[in-house]
Amino acid sequence: MSTSAQIELWHAEKVATQVTVGQAANGIHYAAWGETRISDTDLERMVGAVPATLSPALNNRAYYFVPLAIADTGEVMIAPSYTVDLGDRAICHRNAAFGSTEAVFLSTRLVEDRFGLAFEFFINVATTLSRPPASRRVSPRWPGRRPRPRCAAKPARTPGRLAAAPRTITAPAPPIRTAALDRR
């Protein structure tokens, strides 16, 4: 087995220019690069599982299946093969932008099976679909939420309707005696 010192890390942009990006039948752009250990047939089937009706929202996005996406550098770096040392430094995916194209580099060698890789891929697809378009994103001044309009004041906190109600404890009712029980 080779060590991490022998494996040269590649910049994500270099990987993106070296590989040919294909398009699945549903319109999703994807490519595989390096020693991914996943067959082209399995990769095509996994990417093809995304409904075609969702592909217009993913038009400017390409998914790159690579052995390892390295997490401990400020840049997006890709390892062409797996080593234990590089596996410790890797992360499940890294995002990069190349002009108008958003690229997602998915680490295929961090997960042990196709299910784990498919799960990571579908999480990334869902995350993309759940984000608002760039025109509707919140400004950096208000990360994560929109400011309240000035006319809508925050309502005062109240203890709730049950807290103000008087608490009464009632004693259990005495047993009802009937004539049938008295005859015994």
The answer to whether 83 and 4 are in contact (CB under 8 A) is yes
| Count of alpha carbons within 13 angstroms of residue 164, beta-carbon side | 4
The answer to whether 76 and 90 are in contact (CB under 8 A) is no
Residue 171 per-residue DSSP state: P
The phi, psi pair for 61, rounded to 5°, reads -125, 140
Per-residue pLDDT, 47? 94
Number of other CB atoms surrounding residue 18 within 10 Å: 10
* pLDDT tens per residue across span 130-178: 876 555 555 555 555 555 544 444 455 555 555 555 666 666 666 666 6
More confident residue, 100 or 161: 100
Nearest to 18 by CA among 39, 33, 37: 33
Residues 176 and 108: their CA atoms lie apart, in Å, by 75
Query: Binning pLDDT at 50, 70 and 90, where does residue 1 land?
Result: very low
Residues 142 and 151: their CA atoms lie apart, in Å, by 18
Per-residue pLDDT, 160? 55
Query: With a threshold of 0.75, does the pTM exceed it?
Result: no
The answer to whether 91 and 69 are in contact (CB under 8 A) is yes
Q: What is the mean pLDDT of the chain?
A: 79
